[in-house]
Amino acid sequence: MEFKKEDENYIYSVIGKNIKKYRKLKGWTQEKLAEEINYSLSFISGIESEYHQTFSLGALWRISQILGVDLAKLCEDASKPHNIKYITYRCSSCGLENKMPIEVIKHYEEIYKIAGNKNLPTFNCTNCDGELKPANPMEF
């Protein structure tokens, strides 16, 4: 199933395919991934199916950590590899930089707005306890 980029289903579909790809690269079954991450099998199979289910940034983060794959990699559209824009995020404590796909940022920005939070989404630093923030908010 193909989704238009304006449709938020698009990013769930891309991420679901990537989770499946990287899970298989590790030689893991859906059962194994569910067990490792302590989520239900139906949740994992839901994420990977074309009738994807929604999931939180926290869940996506945990999956990226347990698969050992950058969050950004999970958001790459394999069918359009050169079509992705990234925003540079920098840790306010240690200065670590990480590129985040703009599709994902925009998606979470929408959720933040619905929740009444006007700030841009931030992420946990992979290197320290700091917070990754957009290095240049004007890029948005």
| Separation of alpha carbons 49 and 104, rounded Å | 19
Instruction: Report CA dihedral (104, 107, 113, 115) to the nearest 10 degrees.
Output: -90
**Binding residue (CB under 5 A) for Zn ion from 35, 53, 85, 94:** 94
> In terms of CB distance, is 109 or 131 closer to Zn ion?
131
Q: Which helix (H) or strand (E) holds 132?
A: strand 131-134
> In terms of CB distance, is 25 or 94 closer to Zn ion?
94
Q: Based on DSSP, count helices (H) and strands (E) in the chain, helices before strands.
A: 6, 4
**Binding residue (CB under 5 A) for Zn ion from 45, 61, 130, 135:** 130
**Binding residue (CB under 5 A) for Zn ion from 96, 102, 120, 135:** 96
Residue 92 contacts Zn ion per CB under 5 A:
no
Residue 127 contacts Zn ion per CB under 5 A:
yes
Residue 91 contacts Zn ion per CB under 5 A:
yes
Would you say 129 and 104 are in contact if contact means Cβ atoms under 8 Å apart? no
> In terms of CB distance, is 36 or 131 closer to Zn ion?
131
Distances (CA, A) of 45 to 56, 72, 102, 127: 15, 21, 26, 30
Smallest separation (angstroms) from Zn ion to the CB of 100: 15
Positions that interact with Zn ion (CB under 5 A): 91, 93-94, 96, 125, 127-128, 130
